[in-house]
Amino acid sequence: MLNYKQMILQISPDQYPALLPFFPDTPENVHVRYFLTKRLCEIYLTGNISNPQAIIIRSKPTPSELFGYQDPSALFQILKSLENWHSILVNNDISETLGRLISQTKNITYEKEIYLVLKQPVTTLPTSNVRQLTFDDTPILLSAQKWLQAAGSTSSYQEMLSDGIVVGIIVNNQLASIAYATHITEKFADVGTFTSPNHRNKGYSTSAAMFLIQMLQAKNLTPVWSTDENNSASLKIAQKLRFTGLIYKMRW
């Protein structure tokens, strides 16, 4: 039996580009390729960089959520050496085997992570009070930080503005809704939205996302919409915007 523990390597950021060929530029890899190119992660693997048996990517923004690839038995050995993680996202072809292994040591649940793409152009005009946000909008963004964090945002407004494209709907000089794309690769851009609790059910998330999508498509980027299968509100927005092409992974 192979002693995986002795072969677990934590590789340095200057070696990350060598792993990019293992993660083709596809919708379901948009997050991983972003973390690799920006060096915003830690990487553990067994084997070697040119022929890894298993790879685990731990992002710095959300270190408790892991991405796993390749052999499930080798992945499980790496997981046993890591602390303070609560989920791992893997491809469907290894999810069942890895789930059985993890269940030997802890109670687990699973959910589907869904990836959709929008290939057709957006032609409907968004609401008139949506625009791109810049660092000049810092006071407005600062006043919205509390509800953005409560809504699930893991990035500061500085990171959003520096790394990607951010648009917002401003109502009475307050940020009512935001759409952003920070996880951007050569071909794809992952779209996210948040709306203030005081301004929900007004179509603001859809309108902000529409404006952002038009900007992304003008840059020849294909918008990606990723969410878990139980997030009905997010899926409803994606349906309104006509995202299609279901791809999914499993999260344990």
Ordered by start, the domain boundaries in the chain are 4-108, 117-251
pLDDT of amino acid 5? 52
Best CA proximity match to 42, nearest among 74, 71, 73, 81: 81
- Spelled out in words, what is the top-level CATH class assigned to the domain 4-108? alpha beta
Domains 4-108 and 117-251 share a fold: yes
Best CA proximity match to 31, nearest among 51, 1, 61: 61
Is this prediction's pTM over 0.95? no
For the chain, 252 residues long, give each residue's pLDDT as a single digit of tens. Answer: 455 555 889 999 999 999 999 999 999 999 999 999 999 999 999 999 999 999 999 999 889 999 999 999 999 999 999 999 989 999 989 999 999 999 988 877 888 899 999 999 887 766 778 999 999 999 998 888 888 776 566 677 788 888 899 999 999 989 999 999 999 999 999 999 999 988 999 999 999 999 999 999 999 999 999 999 889 989 999 999 999 988 878 887
Options 2.40.160.50, 3.90.550.10, 3.40.630.30, 3.10.20.30; CATH for 117-251 is 3.40.630.30
Q: Which two tokens stand for residue 158?
A: 């500085």
Q: Which two tokens stand for residue 29?
A: 């890899």
Q: How far is CA 229 from CA 68, 72, 118, 140, in A?
A: 19, 23, 18, 32
